[in-house]
Amino acid sequence: MNPIRVIVVDDSSFMRKMVKEILESDSRIEVIATARNGEEGLNKIGNLHPDVVTMDLNMPIMDGFTALEILMEKQPLPVVMLASVSEEDKDRTIEAMSKGAVDFIQKPSGSISLNIETIKEIIISKIINASKIRFCTNKNEWNQKNSLKTIHKKKIHAKTVVVIGSSTGGPRALHQFFTDLPSNMNAPIFVVQHMPAGFTKSLANRLNRITTKMEVKEAEDGEIVKNNTAYIAPGGYHLTVKGTSSQLRVKLTSDKPRNNHRPCVDVLFESVAELNVNKIAIILTGMGNDGSHGIKYMKQNDANTTVIAESEETAVVYGMPKSAISTNFVDYIEPISNIGNRVADVLSQCNK
């Protein structure tokens, strides 16, 4: 089996050396080049055609964000961003993922992390996972596929809630989803995106800036749920929803991780399964099978639940949608560009 060919782009010679040594300590990975800035990185990427690129955010001449935008336009391939712990870097990392970066590595201590060796296994696993990702950029093809029959849902309850699970590639998919949402949904949305503490607030803020149709915020423990509001699970906490249809509340817990995640999609879905509301569950791009047990539980509790999975054509990683589809409880398989419209259709049925 051929090794995963990687180019490391970072303005720090120490970081280039350390990341290269960490990656090449695994026999599955070969660092074929390093670069000092985005401009040099783009030249080497164009000449050497790597499988994966690691890209620092803050560099002279051309920063990582600018290089990422150019790369995604001309030669899309998996890019893993390296980010410091600063609030500015958190915001820019989320923006980079919305623009096409598939994952990020948080440096343990500042822009030059002398202790980066402490996250060796994380770095290696992220590069290996990124190497399995492929891109589909033909949006016309997206819209021509997966045109499924309309499944008419009865209005059973007065209130409807939408729940979403996503992981690798999720920020970009969520950006598309919230851009496409109809105005005046008259329903709340709850989102679990696999992401560490600190970054989920940046994600919520970015999504809030790109949509004028609803408020998007990081969920707070105990707050009363409002329609036309989206609640993003904070990194490090499970998000659940409790109460009655007349007054729902957010409940955050620090219970042990499930499926190796906290927040966990299954935990959110299972809590909503217990509510007397109309339910729309969405599984977007991501690795693994988080959310599959949750949709089974929702359907078993309420057969009228609508389940939507992102199609293989647009999912950056097809693991979570594929696992959901294998349960035979998915009603619609849609490209990301159609999911907002599908939700609007189902909501219109629920609101009749």
Catalytic site positions: 167, 194, 290
> What is the 8-class DSSP label of residue 260?
T
User: Quick check: 276 and 244 in contact, CB under 8 A?
Assistant: yes
Which residue do the tokens 């696999």 mark?
194
Instruction: List phi, psi (to 5°) of 91.
Output: -65, -45
Q: What is the SS3 assignment for 114?
A: coil
As a whole number of Å, the end-to-end CA separation of the chain is 56
Alpha-carbon torsion angle 61, 66, 72, 73, nearest 10: -90
Q: What is the SS3 assignment for 24?
A: helix
In order of 11, 86, 268, the CA distances from 282 in angstroms are 40, 32, 12
Give the DSSP H or E segment for 315: none
Q: Whose CA is closest to 56, among 93, 24, 91?
A: 93
**CA gap 187, 217 in Å, rounded:** 15
Which residue do the tokens 């007349």 mark?
246
User: Quick check: 309 and 166 in contact, CB under 8 A?
Assistant: no
User: Quick check: 276 and 248 in contact, CB under 8 A?
Assistant: no
In order of 103, 153, 168, 217, the CA distances from 41 in angstroms are 18, 51, 24, 35
